[in-house]
Amino acid sequence: MIAWNAAINGRSSTPSRDLHFEMSIHGTAIIDPGARIHPSCKIGPYCTIGPNVEIGESCELISHVAVEGPTNIGARNRIFPFSSVGLAPQDLR
């Protein structure tokens, strides 16, 4: 995982109702080293993030979210439990 410069330089943002928070990655989350995650994101328990994924500013993956690349998630998105983004659909009918 590559955190953008704000996290490396020690800048942080405080929580507010605008979904701005300091980067938080739950210990059970699995993140590929090739993923790019903005330092203001919150990654919840049991989320998996694959290579070639870019997650923008102030996003929140609540829990059990799977994201595979190539996928670009823009700023200020909240993805709810048991969602799959960038994977093949479950039903091809």
At 10 the pLDDT is 42
Flag whether pLDDT at 82 surpasses 90. Answer: yes
Q: Which distant-in-sequence residues (6+ apart) come within 8 Å of 72 by Cβ?
A: 53, 54, 56
Flag whether pLDDT at 4 surpasses 90. Answer: no
At 86 the pLDDT is 95
At 80 the pLDDT is 97
User: What pTM, to 2 d.p., does this model score?
Assistant: 0.73
- Binned at pLDDT 50, 70 and 90, residue 20 comes out as low
Domains of the chain, first to last: 2-82 (2.160.10.10)
The DSSP symbol for 6 reads H
Q: What integer is the mean pLDDT of 39-58?
A: 96
